[in-house]
Structure formats: C-alpha cells, structure tokens
Structure 1
Amino acid sequence: MTSRKGEGEWRDAAMEIVRVEFSGWVSVRCVFRLQPGADQVYEERITLWRATDMDAAIELAEAEALEYAADLDGEYTGLAQANQLSDEMEPGAEVFSLMRSSGLDTEDYLDHFFDTGTERQQGSPSFDLS
C-alpha cells in the first residue's frame, strides 16, 4: 500500500487499484529472533503507530524494534511490514492485513504458513508464560 495525503491505494485480488481513506494509523509487523542457537525462537510482533504515512510509521517501529530486541537480548531481523489503516480505532477495526498469492489448498496453506506445529500459542505444549 502506498500513501498519499490522507488516502492510500492497493491492488485487490483482481489487481485493480482500490483507494482507501487513511485514518492516520499504521500497524507494523516486525520479526525478531530470540534465544539464538538450537532452541531459537522467532517472534512476530505487530505495533500500532500514529504517523503521516507508512514510511514514517516503519521508521518509528524499527527504532522501537531495536530497543525491544535489546531488552530481550534478541535480534531484530530487519523485516517490517506495514498496513495503513482505513478504520478508526474501535472494537472490530482491522489492524493488519497481508495478502499472499498461493497455489496451495487451504489446509496446506495454513500448515505451511501458520500451523507448522512449532508455534508457541495458548493451548500448545510449548506455550509458557513464566
């Protein structure tokens, strides 16, 4: 998505340009490597920024990502993906969207990108809040 004074544009599934009103909010997903070595863990973290455009939000998010990684004795991988929000912040507002083309069927897609069996999420054996 690219920003233009108060509006953004992106391509929909048919690759048609769609213009959306920009709310001034941008979410940024950053990826971190924690616990380097055999038991290393990667964390995807989405933060919310008030910014004039996506570039400014990424700059803010990356500065914060470096601090966050240092606090955890981890490493910011350098990957930042931004999403310009068109919704005002209220319950149910979309805060992140990433579209990806894939020839995989639904189960294979989810297994490949989201449910590999190594995620640390509530309900999994590796989920530990301590």
Structure 2
Amino acid sequence: MAAAKKDWYAVRCVFRWEASEGRCYEERLTLWRAESTEEAIARAEEEARRYASDNGVRRLDFAQSYRLATDGRPGDGDEVFSLLRDSGLDEDAYLDRYFDTGEEHQSTVPGG
C-alpha cells in the first residue's frame, strides 16, 4: 500500500497575551507536512496548546490553514499563506484597519 501524499500547510493560530497596559494579540504561522488540512490544523492546535502553556498566554479558538502550492519542500519565495478579504475600504484605510493600526509590535525597515 502506497503512503498517502503529504503536502506542506501553513496554519495560523491566534493568542492573547495579558499585558500590563491592556491586551495584546499574536498571530502565529506554523508550517506542517500533512496529508490533509484537518491533520495540519489538528497538529498545529496541539503545538499551539503547548506554546500557550509555555508562554502563559491564552490560545483563542481559531485556526486557518493554507496548503502551499509547492512541489516538494518549501523554498525561497514560496507563498506560505494567503487570505482574500472583500472590503469596501480604499487602500490606505484597508491597511490602517487590518495591518497598520499603530498598535503592532513589529520591526521596521529603515526607509521602508
């Protein structure tokens, strides 16, 4: 019997960090080799439970999976996650609403 084909999946899980000055949410993408979306999510959720326990954060009941369109192991430039969202917002308002609210904890590239 031939082994089932495994693909690479990126799974996004969300966590809530309790901070002294309010709440902070973390979106984490992890990479899994699995036979199905369901398997990838199950494995990612198990890892997310450990991550939450190890870091004293709360795992939210949310996971999204994306099957990578690679033929083999992921490499430079391969897309690891994609999410399409319908919105009536213009470009600047869209970025401000979902990605650049001013509340992100992120590194920036000088002049970028």
TM-score, with normalisation over the residues of structure 2? 0.86
One-letter amino acid of the counterpart of residue 99, structure 2: F
The aligned length equals: 104
Q: Which of the residues 74, 91, 102 maps onto 1:106?
A: 91
Out of 29-38 and 93-102, give the one that drifted further: 29-38
Task: Provide the aligned C-alpha RMSD in A.
Answer: 1.9
Partner of 1:95: 80
Partner of 1:18: none
Q: What secondary structure is seen at the aligned counterpart in 1 of 2:22?
A: coil
Partner of 1:66: 49
- Shift of residue 35, structure 1, vs aligned partner: 1.7
One-letter amino acid of the counterpart of residue 115, structure 1: D
Give % identity: 47
Q: Which of the residues 4, 8, 12 maps onto 1:29?
A: 12
Q: What secondary structure is seen at the aligned counterpart in 2 of 1:40?
A: strand
The answer for unaligned runs of 5 or more in structure 1 is 7-22, 124-130
One-letter amino acid of the counterpart of residue 90, structure 2: D
In the TM superposition, what are the counterparts of 1:1-130 in structure 2 within 5 Å? 24-35=7-18, 38-88=21-71, 89-123=74-108
TM-score, with normalisation over the residues of structure 1? 0.74
**Displaced runs of 4 or more, over 3 A:** none
- Shift of residue 101, structure 1, vs aligned partner: 0.6
- Shift of residue 38, structure 1, vs aligned partner: 4.2
Which one has more relative contact order, counting CA pairs under 8 Å at least 6 apart? 2
Q: What secondary structure is seen at the aligned counterpart in 1 of 2:97?
A: helix
- Shift of residue 36, structure 1, vs aligned partner: 5.4
Rounded to whole Å, the distance in 2 between the matches of 1:104 and 1:39 is 28
- Shift of residue 40, structure 1, vs aligned partner: 1.7
